[in-house]
Structure 1
Amino acid sequence: MLHEILLSLSGHPSPLLRSALPSSTNTTATTTFSSSSSTAISPPERALLASLARLSDLHVHLQTSSSHIAASHPSAICRAVASAIDTLHLAAFRRKVVDVERTVLTEDAALVGAYRIVPLTAVVAEFEGWGRRLEWLGRVVDLVVVKGEEGKGEACACTGAAAIDFLRGELLTGYRDVEELARGLVAVAEAAWVKQVAAWVLYGRVPGFGEGDFFVKRRGRVDGDGEEGEGNAAAEEYGCEPGLLPGFVTPATAASMLFIGRSLNQIRTKSVEDYNLRGSDHLSTQLTRLAELRHPIDSAAFARTIADIRQFLSRTTLQRLLPLSKVLETLQLLRDFFLLGRGEFAMALTQQADEKIRSRWKRMENLAYEGREGLGNVTVKEGEVAAVLAKTWAAMGSMQGEHADEDEGLEVARELLRLTIAKSKVSTPGPHSAEGGLTAIATTPFRNLLFSIPVVMTMRIPSPLDLFLSQLDLQTYTAINSYLLSLRRANIRLTDLWKITSLRRHHPAPPGPPYGSTRGGREKVHLFRQRHAARSSILRNAWATASAAIFFLGEMEGYLQTEVVAGLSDGFHRWLTTGEDEQRHEHGTSKQIQTSATPHPADTDEPPDDDIWLAESTPPQPPSLSAPAGQTHPHHDPQTLATAHRLYLRTLVYRLLLAQQSFTAPLYELLVQIDHLVALVRRLHSVWTAADLEADAGVVDAFVDLEREERDVQREIRGVEGRVKRGIEGLVGELRRLEGLGGLQSGAAEMGEQRGEGAEDGEGLGIGESGKYVPRRVGGIDRLLMKLDFGSWFGRDGRGGDEIDLDDTS
């Protein structure tokens, strides 16, 4: 019987022990009690054998399950845990069985009594404590075992990250023996996970085995334009799956690991010569750093290790691969063309786009009336949109004359920028992403205004600029560009109305002699003047409304461009070149900072006695001149650049009011009504021109009723005037509402921006940390509202000729 017990505990099922189990727990029994066994085993012995039978069944179950997991589980971490359970803990249990057997065979007095009697209670006591251990190991195995779903061929398996988190949580059960078991398995699981991480952060390779369980996922091949592609021109794109990360890995550390692997993968796949800089010294030293991690891994220690690897890579390889001059050139390109730093680009693009639309409609008007069913021909095609951008570059080159070939920024933009019709899959950046959080951008379709179809400005991101500039950042720039360009376009189209001299101001001179001195000549001149006086009276309200809209748009553009975009861009450029934004405390910016309820202590410094007008007009100096004497250029690794750049974009979106749907929606409606007003005024001008030809030269169009069309257009102009006025009034009211909430919302948002709160990249960008990027406190809606004073215009009913005096700008 004793021999049967020891064999059963070693993993060989025994009918003797199985028959001792109660019916409720004997789930694997295949035999039943016989009359002889029931009489040979007394009830007390059966109770003692039940505990040993439980150990035997647990041992067999753990052996079978762990072997199955180690052979077939898709997770390398779970396989390592299962192998450790079998080779370490079950092996220790089997050694315990062998020790008990040795004690019995050597007739040790610790277990064998007089007359070579071995008490069953003593044998059971030798395995005291192993029941709780094996039961806990059974819980671990049940957690990671692969279970097939009923009716499906797929299998549900525990991930390595979930196994690590479960084992780390079991360290706090309160049982010392369970804690020791959990600590050993945690070390095994974390070591297996660190090996996978080492393959990624040291070689830029996704682990060959267990790829589905690794937190880095291939997103396909993406070319420089952000579209999926194949071939050598397309590079592998990788993303992070947060659900596959252990709990001790922070989002910032995950972003660092993703960046390191992507950088190494890009260097390796594109055969960059700087790849040779990553020699054996890099691999050995950094692998040693990973091997020195103690288990369970401390979150802060792991973050420091990854940060050291990232900085080492940046110093040895990426510093040459992505120099600061290349970063500054790219940011200047984005500033000039996406943020409309070069005003001539927005003007040329708007003019070329309007010319394209007018040419399409003229082509339709020249068709025979019976052939006008196909209005689909008016829709602009992809090739025509690209041709508009090409004409824009040509127009900008003609503006510069013989010095056009010296503009390097224009040549780079001509090569990288694209104007395309937006695809349906393109979406506005949301508040969260795998690489970092971005402020949610309002879904207002400003991109529909340029061509009446969704058209966006994009850029091909060449290597190695994609180390710090992501497609999500580019989508944010695209949304900002559509927003700013729509404002500039509306202003340009309204001011172009003043170029129609015959419509705005016309005083016909008397005919030449001798007809001019006759009575008929004088009557004709009198008739002309009466006609134009009546038309001027008809359009007086339209001119007043257009002037008010120009005033509103001009002040909005001035605020957004000079206060927000220029201030934030200059601050970010200065941080890149000097490491600190020293102009934050100068005269112009200090006034804005003092408006905050909790000013920074450094903000109370006295402004310098320099000529502020000279400082405003002086262009930014090169980094070597702007940095203090003896100070070297700061070294920003690409991930630090990317993190600071995302913070810069978040602040820019917030300060441009592009995240306020309650503001952008009525603004879009106002821009649509402004387009309608411009189109109606131009249409009325064409109707009056045709009427003059009919009355003065006898040119008659039999297909058009000019008087009826004139009445209809005038009626529509009256309606559009009211909608434009109400739109401006509503936007000013919304600005006042936002300004009233600004004391609570903007203060909290600014502090969140400066500390990096709410962002998954979480670098902890604080005010007091030296070298960290802190956005300037720019803008202030109150400054804009001080300029948007329309007097009593909003209080009138919109009728009458003396309601506003803005038409005197003619």
Structure 2
Amino acid sequence: MLHEVLLALSGHPSPLFRSDDKPPTDDFPLLSPSEAALLQSIGKLAEVHRQLRGHVQWITRKHRSIICRAVATSVQQKHLARFQHKILEVERKILTRDASVVGAYDIVPLAGVVGEFDDWHRRMSWFWEVACLMQPHGESNAEPQPQAGCTGAFLIDELRAASNTGFPEIEEAATDLSKVAETAWLRQLSSWLLFSRLPVQSAHDFFIKSEPALEENAAMFHKDARLLPGFVTPFVASSILFIGKSLYQVKQLSNTARSTKLVLQHSNNSELAQTHLQHLSSLSLPIVPAQLSRAVSAIRLSLSQNVLQHLLPMEETTRLLSCLRQFMLLGKGEFALALISEAEARLQARQQNMGRLLQKDPLRAMQGLSIKEVELHQALAQVWKGLAREDEDGEDDILGFAGTHLKLSTRSSSNSSRPSTSDSGLSAVPQLAPVAFNDLLFPSATFLELVIQSPLDLFITPREANIYASVNAYLLAIRRAQVRLSDLWRRTAARRDFPSPTGSSGRGTSQETRLRTKRRSQATRKIWATCSAAIFLISEISAYFEGEIIKESCDHFEDWVKTPASAAEEDESRVSLRSETEEEVAQRDPETLAAGHRIFLAALTYALLLTDISYTRGLRSLLGNLDSLIAYFNRLLDLQQKLDLEYEAGDASTLTEEDEQKSSLELDRARKKVDSDLKAVVNRLRQLDHERIGSGRYLDIGAAEGRAYEPWKGGGVDSLLMKLEFGRMADEGYDIV
């Protein structure tokens, strides 16, 4: 019987143990109840061993994850082999009559044999749970399905959790398997970090994913957070993605003379790879998150300081920031005014042509309502020419840079085909309110976009360029409303009385003209009051955004960008690889700059109130109703002027006072809508002043994420409200602003 027990434990079928879990006393009546209980216990261990051996063998051959295969192989070749060795050791003790197993008269107690395997029951059950976790047992005979089994990252997390158990044998086994799983994961990681290559086998199990780009022989990479082991923080994952993407772009650019010269001059790929490999080899197993973070940071700094800073020097970064500040954030006021004037001129020309075309071909006139790409390109080209004429010396290189990298388009190209290396590692970036301001400048929605070309994509992503386009449309809409309202005061005839055009000075005529002028003046008094309140509010909002928020935030961020990195951030590999005669300032690596830029942009949009849906919706309604008010007001003024001319000329007028009354009624309705929107915007600003208190006053994601850059913290909404309080106007007992 002992022979049968040992054979059963080795994985062979035995008549002592039945598959229907019935006690062996039914087939062997000579067994005592205690012996039957002992055999039942050892039978369960033998059955688990037999199933486990077949299951892990299937996993090593067919599982989709290379990490699961490595763990199954370790279970099979190490732990099950250790169990087999234990069986042989017990058999040796029996054959050599070892006193620890064999008693007097060469009697081998069954309890003694069973006791030799007491510590294997819990361990073997745990191995079986791990095997079923990697691949459910019911699917062992079927081909693996995409949804079957677990991922390598999930297995690593489960093994790490199991190592914290209170059972020493489980802790030892879980720690050993964790080392195996993390070693397999590190091999995948090293291929990406050293050579920007995705794993050949089980690429689906690695958290870096590749997609073909629109450009020939190019690829786009992104990370899948679901495939990240728990010990990899989001910041480390972003650094890993950045390193691999950067190496990939260096390889893609290696065909150009510029990049080849830089790479050969400032770095040696084999030496860099050896240095980076040393950082990965220094990691202990199981991996300590702090050690992995330090190793990845060292590789990132080494790559950035030896290669990437030569592809994207500080001059290129500051030029890009100046372009964004002057043109996207309207720091150059001449650009905003020129673009608004060009757009207004083209709209007026389209309206004149539309009136004539409606009489001839209405269908064609309706088709011409939308703006075309060619017209947008022509409008922006005229703006660049006008700005270039003002630059008499021709030394504004930022203007030339903007002319190359900025374009007006009706389609957003935020999903660029370029494989950008900059990637967001922030976990709490605020989302912009879904309120569009880009349909006010032209009839169709237009975007002033930044064309991202390599190596600028080391610093900025298409998503951030799209945010800049939204901010630009927002600021342009506010500036346009301010310009259009100011134009009303330039219509002197609407605010002052002039002598009769015909020179007639009859008493009746003069009396009738004075009465008509007085009546019109009283009727438009509310209109001028509303326009005054609107231009005051719009002007103060514009001054607050552009003169305080944008100016101070950009100055603060540019100072941080230009400040050299601290000596602690210097990497030893840079010192060993660069020329002894080179004396360079240690600028921050591109990923640190890109991460700081994302924090800056997120804090800027938060301070510009672009993240608040109620405020943006109210402001958008105000700007739209202001356009209607201005259009109705200009229409009424033109109608009144034409009526006066025809009346003074004594001709039969085709217009009547009824037409003037209808226009006045439409204008009054538009005025009431603007008054309502003005109150709604100011009330929302006051609510924001009460809501954004304490930690909510500023978007402090820099400190929360442990980043190097901390955004500027200046005056909140209360500074804008203080200015508005000085301009409060009252009409008929209620506040307009």
> Which letter maps to 1:544?
A
Q: Partner of 2:150: helix, strand, or coil?
A: coil
- Cα distance 1:485–1:95, how it changes in 2: closer, same or farther (>3 A)? same
**Pairing of 1:232-247 with structure 2 (within 5 A):** 235-247=218-230
**Pairing of 1:38-53 with structure 2 (within 5 A):** 38-39=28-29, 41-53=31-43
Deviation at 1:84, TM superposition (A): 0.6
1:739 aligns with 2:689: yes
Q: Which position in structure 2 is the counterpart of 1:612?
A: none
1:208 aligns with 2:200: yes
- Supply the distance in 2 between the matched residues of 1:479 and 1:323 (Cα, whole angstroms): 28
Q: Which position in structure 1 is the counterpart of 2:242?
A: 259
- Supply the distance in 1 between the matched residues of 2:452 and 2:727 (Cα, whole angstroms): 48
Whether the 8 Å CA contact 1:508–1:525 is kept in 2: the answer is: no
1:584-606 Cα distance to aligned partner (Å, 9 max, x none): xxxxxxxxxxxxxxxxxxxxxxx
Deviation at 1:779, TM superposition (A): 2.5
Q: Partner of 1:217: helix, strand, or coil?
A: strand
Whether the 8 Å CA contact 1:278–1:317 is kept in 2: the answer is: no
> Which letter maps to 2:664?
Q
1:662-699 Cα distance to aligned partner (Å, 9 max, x none): 32221111111111111112222332354356446688
Q: Which position in structure 1 is the counterpart of 2:729?
A: 793
Deviation at 1:254, TM superposition (A): 1.1
| Match of residue 710, structure 1, among 646, 660, 663 | 660
1:460 aligns with 2:410: no
Q: Which position in structure 1 is the counterpart of 2:311?
A: 321
- Supply the distance in 1 between the matched residues of 2:148 and 2:398 (Cα, whole angstroms): 54
1:631-678 Cα distance to aligned partner (Å, 9 max, x none): 985521111111211111122112212222232221111111111111
**Pairing of 1:266-665 with structure 2 (within 5 A):** 266-271=249-254, 272-273=259-260, 274-276=262-264, 277-369=267-359, 371-372=361-362, 375-400=366-391, 402-403=392-393, 405-422=394-411, 436-505=427-496, 507-508=498-499, 535-579=520-564, 633=585, 635-665=587-617
- Supply the distance in 1 between the matched residues of 2:477 and 2:658 (Cα, whole angstroms): 33
Whether the 8 Å CA contact 2:415–2:462 is kept in 1: the answer is: no
**Pairing of 1:29-178 with structure 2 (within 5 A):** 37-39=27-29, 41-114=31-104, 116-145=106-135, 154-178=146-170
Deviation at 1:700, TM superposition (A): 7.8
| Match of residue 184, structure 1, among 176, 199, 202 | 176
Whether the 8 Å CA contact 1:494–1:550 is kept in 2: the answer is: yes
- Supply the distance in 2 between the matched residues of 1:645 and 1:632 (Cα, whole angstroms): 23
Deviation at 1:263, TM superposition (A): 0.9
- Supply the distance in 1 between the matched residues of 2:100 and 2:666 (Cα, whole angstroms): 109
- Supply the distance in 2 between the matched residues of 1:153 and 1:2 (Cα, whole angstroms): 43
- Supply the distance in 2 between the matched residues of 1:502 and 1:238 (Cα, whole angstroms): 62
Identity %: 38
- Supply the distance in 1 between the matched residues of 2:169 and 2:282 (Cα, whole angstroms): 26
- Supply the distance in 1 between the matched residues of 2:295 and 2:335 (Cα, whole angstroms): 46
Q: Which position in structure 2 is the counterpart of 1:676?
A: 628
- Supply the distance in 2 between the matched residues of 1:424 and 1:148 (Cα, whole angstroms): 45
Q: Partner of 1:789: helix, strand, or coil?
A: helix
- Cα distance 1:426–1:180, how it changes in 2: closer, same or farther (>3 A)? closer
- Supply the distance in 1 between the matched residues of 2:600 and 2:210 (Cα, whole angstroms): 28
Instruction: Tell which deviates more after alignment, 730-739 or 70-79.
Output: 730-739
> Which letter maps to 1:266?
Q
- Cα distance 1:296–1:127, how it changes in 2: closer, same or farther (>3 A)? same
Whether the 8 Å CA contact 2:335–2:383 is kept in 1: the answer is: yes
Q: Which position in structure 2 is the counterpart of 1:721?
A: 671
- Supply the distance in 2 between the matched residues of 1:151 and 1:206 (Cα, whole angstroms): 25
> Which letter maps to 1:724?
V
Task: Tell me the TM-score normalized by structure 2.
Answer: 0.88
- Supply the distance in 2 between the matched residues of 1:119 and 1:238 (Cα, whole angstroms): 64
- Supply the distance in 2 between the matched residues of 1:391 and 1:80 (Cα, whole angstroms): 64
Q: Which position in structure 2 is the counterpart of 1:590?
A: none
Deviation at 1:537, TM superposition (A): 4.6
- Supply the distance in 2 between the matched residues of 1:485 and 1:543 (Cα, whole angstroms): 24
- Supply the distance in 1 between the matched residues of 2:330 and 2:202 (Cα, whole angstroms): 48
Q: Partner of 1:474: helix, strand, or coil?
A: helix
1:123-153 Cα distance to aligned partner (Å, 9 max, x none): 2122221111100101111111156599996
Q: Partner of 2:712: helix, strand, or coil?
A: coil
- Cα distance 1:136–1:580, how it changes in 2: closer, same or farther (>3 A)? closer
- Cα distance 1:182–1:500, how it changes in 2: closer, same or farther (>3 A)? same
Whether the 8 Å CA contact 2:459–2:594 is kept in 1: the answer is: yes
Whether the 8 Å CA contact 2:609–2:616 is kept in 1: the answer is: yes
1:781 aligns with 2:731: no
- Cα distance 1:549–1:634, how it changes in 2: closer, same or farther (>3 A)? farther
Instruction: Tell which deviates more after alignment, 137-146 or 415-424.
Output: 415-424
Gaps of 5+ in 1: 27-32, 222-228, 582-630, 766-771
1:397-418 Cα distance to aligned partner (Å, 9 max, x none): 3444x44x43221221111112
- Supply the distance in 2 between the matched residues of 1:347 and 1:383 (Cα, whole angstroms): 21
Q: Partner of 1:238: helix, strand, or coil?
A: strand
Q: Partner of 1:457: helix, strand, or coil?
A: strand
Q: Which position in structure 2 is the counterpart of 1:22?
A: 21
- Supply the distance in 1 between the matched residues of 2:321 and 2:412 (Cα, whole angstroms): 26
> Which letter maps to 1:299?
P
Whether the 8 Å CA contact 1:148–1:155 is kept in 2: the answer is: no
- Supply the distance in 1 between the matched residues of 2:246 and 2:469 (Cα, whole angstroms): 25
Q: Partner of 1:17: helix, strand, or coil?
A: coil
> Which letter maps to 1:779?
G
Deviation at 1:424, TM superposition (A): 11
Deviation at 1:365, TM superposition (A): 1.0
- Supply the distance in 2 between the matched residues of 1:169 and 1:371 (Cα, whole angstroms): 75
- Cα distance 1:794–1:660, how it changes in 2: closer, same or farther (>3 A)? farther
- Supply the distance in 2 between the matched residues of 1:519 and 1:476 (Cα, whole angstroms): 62
Task: Tell me the TM-score normalized by structure 1.
Answer: 0.80
Q: Partner of 1:230: helix, strand, or coil?
A: coil
Please report the RMSD computed on the Cα atoms of aligned residues, expressed in angstroms.
Answer: 3.3
- Supply the distance in 1 between the matched residues of 2:460 and 2:314 (Cα, whole angstroms): 14
Deviation at 1:120, TM superposition (A): 2.4
Instruction: Tell which deviates more after alignment, 256-265 or 439-448.
Output: 439-448
- Cα distance 1:635–1:78, how it changes in 2: closer, same or farther (>3 A)? same
- Cα distance 1:130–1:214, how it changes in 2: closer, same or farther (>3 A)? same
- Supply the distance in 1 between the matched residues of 2:15 and 2:106 (Cα, whole angstroms): 25
- Cα distance 1:470–1:424, how it changes in 2: closer, same or farther (>3 A)? closer
1:189-241 Cα distance to aligned partner (Å, 9 max, x none): 111111111111111122121211111122442xxxxxxx2325xx4222222
1:687 aligns with 2:639: yes
- Cα distance 1:388–1:636, how it changes in 2: closer, same or farther (>3 A)? same
| Match of residue 191, structure 2, among 192, 199, 206 | 199
> Which letter maps to 2:730?
F
> Which letter maps to 1:563?
E
Give the paired residue count.
705
Deviation at 1:509, TM superposition (A): 6.8
- Supply the distance in 1 between the matched residues of 2:589 and 2:108 (Cα, whole angstroms): 72
- Cα distance 1:728–1:127, how it changes in 2: closer, same or farther (>3 A)? same
